[in-house]
Amino acid sequence: MGLTQLTAEGLDRALRAVEAMETAEEGTEMLVPIGSGSFIHAKLASKEKVVLNVGAGINIEKAPAEAKESLKARKAEVVEGSKKLNEMLGKIDQEMQRIQAIMEKFEESQQQGQGSEGVV
């Protein structure tokens, strides 16, 4: 699984968590992921704000609706970046195959040239 796919899946999980939070009651007990498939028990203290990481270790608070829009936009960027990366990798692969074919023809011509000289 690629890094972009893992990132997109993480954004999906975050989006589902925000959606679930919106329908939950304050004080609801829940499991909160802490990484590496580990969770802690917690109670929902407030569903008014979501804390989002915006990069460089900076976190901001947003209303759930704004947080969902931010998460959707991030996912769209990741998916688009992944598509562009895959297109670029495809072009590189095609160019490498073209170069490989040229190298093989060159090697064949070198071998044929040596075979006609004879052995001394």
pLDDT digits (tens, 9 = 90+) for 98-107: 999 999 999 9
Q: Do 4 and 78 meet the contact criterion of CB atoms below 8 Å apart?
A: yes
Three-state DSSP at 32 gives: strand
pLDDT digits (tens, 9 = 90+) for 29-87: 988 888 888 999 999 999 899 999 988 999 999 999 999 999 999 999 999 999 999 99
Q: Tell me which CATH code domain 3-111 carries.
A: 1.10.287.370
Per the rule left: phi > 0, alpha: psi between -120 and 50, beta: everything else, 37 is left
Q: How far is CA 70 from CA 7, 25, 26, 118, in A?
A: 14, 23, 23, 72
